[in-house]
Structure 1
Amino acid sequence: MLSGELATSLTGRHSDFILFPFSFREYLRFKKVSEEVPLSTRRIAEVKVELEKYMEVGGFPEALMIGKDQIDVIYNDILFKDVVFRYKIRELEKFKDFSKSLISYYSTEVSLSKLAKVIKVDRKTIDL
């Protein structure tokens, strides 16, 4: 079931929980990276490595606890079991490209025309 359907099926038996991601400072605390100042050259390098990881994985506590591999498994389960199977999508490669493009634009505005160009389909196909 998709989340909206699940909420409908479980009316009165679920609650929403809003979780905000860690700031980078909170992320460093979670990873037990010392915040002592001044930073040595080694500490600066360590913080830079953690910043790269933070930018890649993000700051959501659950993602940090279960790891990137498990996030990929969950993503693929949702994509294929909930979407491809339910809507009988035949063009799997194009759909994969579409979903990756859409996910990569999570923090920016995206137009249908831009998505159509990226996955090389007609704009009307995406608009459906």
Structure 2
Amino acid sequence: MPMYVRFQASKELQDLAYELIEKARDGGKLGKGANEATKYVERGQAKIVVMAEDVTPEEILAHMPILCEEKNVPYTYVPSKEELGNAAGLGIPTSAIAIVNPGREKDLVDNLIKKLESVKKQG
């Protein structure tokens, strides 16, 4: 497991994260890539951050979990930067996505955050 991965997200959480990104990209606003995601987290604008587990070098995302915890921004992981990029409509791999405005998908964001909180309490 890469050094920046703090917990193992279940398949259900991963699928929910991909679904949320796919829906939010149309009616909402996403921060795409490690740099944009970092900016939105630092500004307190990110609702949730989704990171790929297969990013190399790992240092690209080493700061992200710490920053998210400092700013109280929930975060989760998905296995593939390729799939993460596709979910965001990029057509290229991406290391991280910050959901800034979920559009009509606020309930889906809240649902994912609740599930993440229960996973972290158990872990």
Scaled to the shorter chain, the TM-score interval is: under 0.3
Considering Cα pairs closer than 8 Å and 6+ residues apart, tell me whether 1 or 2 has the greater RCO: 2
Structure with greater proportional helix content: 1
Task: Please report the TM-score for the alignment, with normalisation by the length of structure 2.
Answer: 0.24
Structure with greater proportional strand content: 2
Task: Please report the TM-score for the alignment, with normalisation by the length of structure 1.
Answer: 0.23
Larger Rg: 1
